[in-house]
A and B are shown apart, each in its own frame.
Chain A
Amino acid sequence: MSKTVVQTPISDTDIENLSIGDIIYLNGYLVTARDEVHHRFLKQNRELPVDLVGGAIFHAGPIVRKSEGTPGRYDVVSIGPTTSMRMEANEKEFIRRTGIKLIVGKGGMGSQTAEGCRLYKAIHTVFPGGCAVLAATCVEEVESVEWLDLGMPEAMWVLRVKEFGPLIVSIDTKGNNLFEKNRLAIEARKDVVVKEICRHVNYFG
């Protein structure tokens, strides 16, 4: 099976045939943006220092270190995804206002983001959680860093990446939501399981 590789800048046609559960890889630019970047842009109305039209953001707070012998340059040590659900309240608006096409994160996102993906043609994908060295080896270079005053985890790190993945599509441009489907299946199984355990826990005698 050949690898599906998506390249930034991403167009609608690059992603509209992708469905939940598909696996892709990313070439080009990936910019970290998590809680504080969303907050500063949407709640404090600060202009974003990076143009994200057709771009990809990464819910991640990396470990970076200064490159030895090259002032002002950085190397990524470890960079795995963070919990995407924390950005749920802001993501639809973030997609609308920035023009991003691809979100990389961990775990699912909710119905608002799914709606944003459907309306503005974007996808949410998951990089395997915790696999931060694996991800770091897909980063070719740290091109720049913005808003470093937010601290290392919260700053915007502009990364040039090569075959960054595996990225599993969790929300597609039709608004289908893999984790929401899984969540409903888990909920459905839960009641039966809990009932069975509760038959055995009357310790009061």
Chain B
Amino acid sequence: MDKAQARITFIDTIARFTAYTSKHLPDDVRTKLKELGNQEDSEMAKIIYTAMFDDLTMADALSRPVCQDTGIIQYFVQVGTHFPLIDEIEDCLREAVKKATALAPLRPNAVEVFDEKNTGNNVGVRIPWIEWELMPNRDDVLIYCYLAGGGSSLPGAAKVLMPLEGYEGVVKFVFDQISSYGVNACPPLLVGIGIAGSVEVAARLSKKALLRPLGSHNSNPRGAELEARIEKGLNELHIGPGGFSGKNSVMGVHIEQAARHPATIAVGLSTGCWAHRRSLIRIDASMGYEIISHRGATI
């Protein structure tokens, strides 16, 4: 395949992958929602879960976005340094978003700051948002697509704590945010926490934490234990599906960390709603693809 043809194929694959992401939840999220739904015994919680599963079934059958808020589109790209289209990925992703917006269709959500105009095609200044990681000596690319809805982005916050506030300060920060904002953010939520030395590192790690599969654990044993404790604690708030009270509050709690400065503990928080539209695709050097997040999916 020559480069021009590869480019066309790549854009088309990402456009269809992005549209697909809006219409189908990943396997791990579906499984978790079923598990949580089965634990509920109140009438109200059951009604909400029934509505959620009906919605997923209809979205599948009618090929429509699960939620009308198809979000600001974010890509997390892990690119092999020998991937043939490495120089063109950003341009291709922007083109793919325009195509996906018409194809799905997605809701136009990119509003230019200061001009306060909706661009109409989900492409704008620095949007789609792209984060990069290099994979040395490889010729493929792994791309996470994340549709960041407004409702689930509202609880987001980050703060730099004094070390004396300790990890207790981190825990309090998370619980204050979730107990006041989580109810409106379409629970059960996935909670992403970043801990680092400065505010932007913590915030970015909190979003990266949302990309991890449900059931995965922090790389540090203490981190994994804290994840479990916060998850159990948030569930004991009994926020319930849609905020209507219930057995649980969250689908999971994921923490990612970077070594901190001795004088600071920065904490960042991002949340994903129950309709956690996160997907992962691997594209090889000959533009063949595999969707890792949705087993058996073809696009």
Contacts and interface: CB of A to CB of B under 8 A. Distances in A.
Given A130-B186, A190-B237, A202 B55 contact: no
B288 interface: no
A186 B64 contact: no
Interface stretch (B78-86, B163-171, B198-206): B163-171
Nearest to B168: A198
Highest count of chain A CB atoms <10 Å: which of B62, B64, B120, B166: B64
Contacts of B52: 128, 130-131
B68 A193 contact: no
B89 interface: no
Given A21-B44, A130-B52, A194-B172, A63 B68 contact: yes
A151 B105 contact: no
A77 B64 contact: yes
A205 B108 CA distance: 51
B183 A152 contact: no
Interface string A116-145: 000000000010111111101100000000
A94 B133 CA distance: 48
A63 B106 contact: yes
A103 to B, nearest CB: 14
Contact of B151 (A62, A106, A133): A106
A177 interface: no
A83 B273 CA distance: 12
Contacts of B242: 106-107, 126, 128-129
Chief secondary structure at chain B's binding surface = helix
B67 A80 contact: yes
Contacts of B185: 83, 107
Interface string A38-81: 00000000000000000000001111010000000000011110
Nearest to A78: B68
Interface residues of A, number: 53
Given A134-B55, A151-B118, A182-B244, A203 B167 contact: yes
A80 to B, nearest CB: 5
Nearest to B243: A107
Interface of B: 44, 47-48, 51-52, 54-55, 58-59, 62, 64-70, 105-109, 111, 117-118, 120, 150-151, 154, 166-168, 170-172, 175, 179-180, 183-186, 222, 225-226, 229-230, 233-234, 236-239, 241-245, 273-275
Given A63-B65, A168-B47, 8 more contacts: A78-B68, A83-B151, A108-B243, A130-B67, A152-B108, A186-B239, A189-B237, A202-B166
Q: Considering the complex of A and B, which 3 residue pairs feature the smallest CB-CB distances, nearest first?
A: A107-B184, A151-B118, A201-B167
25 contacts: A61-B107, A83-B150, A85-B184, A108-B243, A126-B242, A128-B48, A130-B55, A130-B186, A130-B275, A132-B65, A132-B66, A133-B59, A137-B58, A166-B47, A179-B183, A185-B245, A190-B175, A193-B237, A194-B171, A194-B233, A197-B226, A198-B168, A198-B172, A201-B226, A203-B167
